[in-house]
Amino acid sequence: MLVPIFFGVCIYILAQWLNIFWNRKKNMMDIPGPTPLPLVGNALKFSGPSEDFMPVITTMMAKYGPAVRFHLGTRVNLAVSTPEAFEKILSSNKQITKGEDYRFLWDWLAKGLLTSTGAKWHSRRKLLTPAFHFKILEDFMEIMNDQSKIFCDILCAKADGPAFDIFPLVTHCALDIICETAMGKNINAQKDSDSEYVKAVYESSDLVFKRQTGPWLWSDFVYKLTPAGAKWRKCISILHSFTNQVIQERKLELQNEEETITDDLGRKKKMAFLNLLIKESKGGTVLSDEDIREEVDTFMFEGHDTTATNISFTLYMFATHPEIQQKCQEELDQIFDGSNRPAESADLANMKYLESCLKESLRLFQSVPIISRTTGEDVEIEGYHVPANTNVILLPFHLHRNPSIYPEPNKFDPERFSSVNPQKRHPYAYVPFSAGPRNCIGQKFATMEEKIMVSSVLRNFNLKSDVKVEDIPLLAEVILRPKNGIFVTLSPRN
């Protein structure tokens, strides 16, 4: 009995493999790319450690060009890294559906703003846009300044000491900021650094990435039976328990005290993102508790990990480029005139050189290194016909390091983004916050937070690092992260 079963399985695998070549148009076999293996496609190329993903993609693009076709299992993917290709996808209202890779986030983020599409995405985007009005963002400056001061106090204890990993400290500060601004809750992650929530976010990101690149884990039924599936369920339980508890606490506060909620110091609490969702829920008739949670989970995830990455790498760039660090400090000294007062809106507007540094750091270390979309209709990319329902993988990490757009692409040069000497580029040559209809709704919030945190550090400390950039392995998971952290030393400026 085993013999016919064995031959049946072999015939099925062979048929699936040959089907790729028979349906050449659907599988885009006219586009350059590696030859797929039976059943697994090219997935074995990505089966190594997470830090190998970017080098593998870079090697493929060097060999096959800026548009590369490869298969994960039997699913065809097109990876692109040119501004023209980015414009074709990101600018179109027909190409707004996130790629197949995002479905592995559904257990965590459900169908929130990041993962939804169609009418639901349009209605949520319209609902949430007012939460990022500049007047509301200005109210959050006090929170950002307060948390940045705590951050600098923690750094002060490490000044004149040995090198230390600054990445987790930045992450905890960013988490405190997003919790207090988005949910109106101070979780003191900076003072209680052993955060179960942060650990669950990191582990979940790693699990999602491994599942995205391993087609043998795509089946929900199979995944539940694996050790990774058990870890995933534990992480989701931690993440959802945290947000559910906060939502219920805030709903109770709003019911009892309306708009007069005050914090521990007696100050009136700012209108948090969560308040808006609860208000717009109309008692559950418009948004259920699950609807609220999926948006809170989305903003908690996207609102702290992305900014933490850019802030950390920006500080590292200053630590390895003392002349740029000094120029930025001179700008800040001129703005604040030696005072230790908190930053205000006018101060942020005057941080021109710091803004160029943040942009250049984000070019080199894109917080979201991979974006994917499922084509809603046939489209021509790089001269090739791409049929509808194709998974297109956009690679900002490679786009931003294109030597034809950015000479000496691996060099940290903030002058590329100088307002004094603007450089003409394709409008889709720089997309750190994506672009088009689905651009990042929180980019102004992120820029404000990054300016306040980085300026606070530079006003108080000089940074230095002996670690070379090539010695920092990058984990290109859902969010870009340094595998072994970012080690710097500090010395007080005064």
Say how far apart CA 30 and CA 69 lie, in whole Å.
Answer: 9
Say how far apart CA 194 and CA 334 lie, in whole Å.
Answer: 38
Contact between 90 and 393 (Cβ < 8 Å): no
DSSP 395-413: -HHHHTT-TTTSSSTTS--
3 state DSSP class of 74: coil
User: What are residue 381's phi and psi, to 5 degrees?
Assistant: -130, 125
User: DSSP strand E in 234-286: where?
Assistant: none
Closest CA to 429 of 391, 403, 390: 403
Closest CA to 239 of 116, 147, 107: 107
Side-by-side strand order, sheet with 461-464: 164-165, 487-492, 461-464
According to DSSP, residue 98 is labeled B
Q: How many CB atoms lie within 10 A of CB 410?
A: 10
Structure tokens at 66: 């800026």
According to DSSP, residue 393 is labeled E
Question: Distance of alpha carbon 422 from its chain centroid, rounded?
Answer: 27
3 state DSSP class of 242: helix
Half-sphere exposure of 96 (CA within 13 A, CB side): 19
Say how far apart CA 135 and CA 210 lie, in whole Å.
Answer: 41
Contact between 372 and 391 (Cβ < 8 Å): yes
Pairing of strands 487-492, 461-464: antiparallel
Q: Is 179 annotated as a binding residue?
A: no
Contact between 126 and 132 (Cβ < 8 Å): no
**Largest interatomic CA distance in the chain:** 85
Structure tokens at 476: 């290109």
Contact between 42 and 20 (Cβ < 8 Å): no
Pairing of strands 75-80, 391-394: parallel
Please state the residue numbers annotated as binding site. 440
Known binding positions for heme: 440
